[in-house]
Amino acid sequence: MVLLNCRIRNFRILLDENIQFDENLTVISGPNGSGKTSILEAIYFASCGRSFRSRNIQHLLMFSRKWFRVEVRMDNHYLDARYKLPEKQKEIFLNGEKEKLSVVSTAFPFFVFNQRSLDVVKGGRKNAYLFFNKVLMRLFSGYIRSLSAYRIALNNKRLLLKKMAGNDMIKAWNCVLEEQRGKLTKQRIWLISVLNTLLPEDVEIQYLPSQPGKALDSFLTVEREKQIVLAGSHLDRYRLLRQGKDVREYGSSGQQKRLFFDVITAVGHLFHQQRGIRPVLLLDDFDSEFDKANVVRNLDRVMGQFQVVVTTTDHQRFFSFPQELVQLKSEEKGRVE
Ligand SMILES: Nc1ncnc2c1ncn2[C@@H]1O[C@H](COP(=O)(O)OP(=O)(O)O)[C@@H](O)[C@H]1O
Ligand SMILES: [Mg+2]
């Protein structure tokens, strides 16, 4: 997969932009507020129908406009994502045919690296949990099915606990939960063990399933007392370690950022292995917490293996790499030079 160019219309600050990409490195440079992140966001939206910074798609629509459109051309595919009011309808066309979001979002490995994704390393348990879920969802459609079956059963079980329903009814949902738990655990173990082989020597991810080896039914008495669910796949945890130490507790900001970059890189390699597709890394404000030596070193590690698009306020920091340079200006809000 090679990202060739994109056309973005009425998307946030971007009125109508055409952007060409280099097959290895594209540097999008401009002052704050010039629309750099919006470009990455638009590409990401076309690849999965979601934004990485807003839940509400309407926020992506340029103020006072009624539709936006993002067209992404790759060497062998053409994505065309559209959104319009008043229907609030989003549609993605793949090579001219309307396609399901679930198909599109598992087909194109665009990975985002930004300030917020650092929460996977820095933030609470839930962040890493959701991140690895997303990775698995993009690798296997079966994982999405197991996860939604699990969630439905979990909600039903919670309702029954609140209603103080009888043991048998709750056990029936535990039965569904156990079945999906088995599948989810297996896929999570697989993912983490493969990622660990792809990570640098000193980095390790630990997967800690909730209450391993204990049947869900064995918590039933206490669960009914407290009316909350005490065990199951939704309580699984991950730890990120460098040199055996938890990076959330001991890492500096720069170290946390580097570790997350290691993880993203490993995930990229995994997609490459599994699918034979070279992923695209969308690195937002990539240089912001790295010193210059680290920018060069980290980029060097992925150059050639992935297609990389970085945004920066200072493109000089990337001068040592051959690149396509896209310069945005603040006065002309989002205009590509
Ligand atoms: N829906 C929208 N319509 C028009 N402009 C928007 C919209 N959402 C955000 N903006 C503007 O876009 C700019 C932010 O763009 P962004 O891509 O985050 O810039 P950068 O990453 O270069 O700092 C801000 O000036 C903001 O006011
Ligand atoms: Mg930005």
Return the SS3 of 64: coil
Q: Which ligand 1 atom is at minimum distance from the Cα of 328? A: 22
* Average pLDDT of the residues of the chain: 93
Higher pLDDT, 255 or 83: 83
Return the pLDDT at 331. 58
* Atom of ligand 1 minimally distant from the CA of 35: 17
Ligand 1: lining residues by beta carbon, under 6 Å: 12-13, 30, 32-38, 59, 61-63
CB-neighbour burial class of residue 308 (10 A; exposed 0-12, middle 13-18, buried 19+): buried
What whole-number distance in Å separates Cα of residue 245 and Cα of residue 86? 51
Task: Give 105's pLDDT tier (boundaries 50, 70, 90).
Answer: confident
pLDDT band (50, 70, 90) for residue 304: confident
Q: Which atom of ligand 1 is nearest to the CA of 38?
A: 17
Quick check: 42 pLDDT over 80? yes
For residue 131 the two structure tokens come to 């991140």
Contact 329, 30 (CB under 8 A): yes
Give the pLDDT mean for 290-303: 85
Element of type H or E holding 283: strand 280-283
Q: What is the pLDDT of residue 34?
A: 95
> What's the CA-to-centroid distance between 32 and ligand 2, angstroms?
7
Structure tokens at 303: 């150059």
Using the mean position of ligand 1's atoms as its centre, give its distance from the Cα of residue 12 in Å: 6
Grade residue 292 by pLDDT with cuts at 50, 70 and 90: confident
Residue of 310 and 125 predicted with greater confidence: 310
Q: Which amino acid is at 265?
A: T
> Residue 255 — very low, low, confident or very high, per pLDDT cuts 50/70/90?
confident
pLDDT attached to residue 127: 93
What is the distance in A from the centroid of ligand 1 to the CA of 79?
Answer: 23
Q: What is the mean pLDDT of residues 24-41?
A: 96
User: Judging by DSSP bridges, how do beta strands 3-11 and 67-74 pair with one another?
Assistant: antiparallel
* CA 5 – CA 298 distance, rounded (Å): 25
Q: Whose CA is nearest to atom 14 of ligand 1?
A: 33
pLDDT over 60 (residue 9): yes
Residue 79 has pLDDT above 90, yes or no: yes
> Of 14, 84, 81, which is closest to residue 47 (Cα–Cα)?
81
What value does the mean pLDDT take over residues 93-120?
Answer: 90
Q: Which of 9, 10, 11, 13 to mutate to test the pocket of ligand 1 (most atoms within 8 A of CB)?
A: 13
Residues lying with their CB under 5 A of ligand 2, a single-atom ion: 36-37
Angle at 18 (CA atoms; ends 12, 23), nearest 5 degrees:
115
Q: What Cα–Cα distance (Å) separates residue 27 from each residue in 21, 40, 49, 307?
A: 9, 11, 24, 11
Q: Which residue did the predictor score with more confidence, 139 or 332? A: 139
What pLDDT digit, counting tens, does each position of 180-236 carry? 999 999 999 999 999 999 999 999 999 999 999 999 999 999 999 999 999 999 999
Q: What number is the average pLDDT over the span 283-294? A: 84
Question: How much is the average pLDDT of 91-101?
Answer: 96
Domains in the chain: ranges and CATH: 3-109+279-327 (3.40.50.300), 122-246 (1.20.1050.90)
Q: What is the reported pLDDT for 89?
A: 92
- Ligand closest to the CA atom of residue 62: 1
| pLDDT for residue 337 | 55
Q: Atom 12 (ligand 1): residue with closest C-alpha?
A: 13
CB-based contacts of 225, cutoff 8 Å, min separation 6: none
Please write the tens of the pLDDT for every residue from 152-183: 999 999 999 999 989 999 999 999 999 999 99
DSSP-derived 3-state class of residue 136: helix
Q: For residue 35, name the pLDDT band (cuts at 50, 70, 90).
A: very high
Give the Å distance between the CA of 157 and the centre of ligand 1.
Answer: 43
Atom 27, ligand 1: which residue's CA is nearest? Answer: 33
Distance from residue 38's CA to the centre of ligand 1 (Å): 7
User: What spacing in Å lies between the alpha carbon of 124 and ligand 1's midpoint?
Assistant: 28
Q: Is the pLDDT reported for residue 290 higher than 90?
A: no
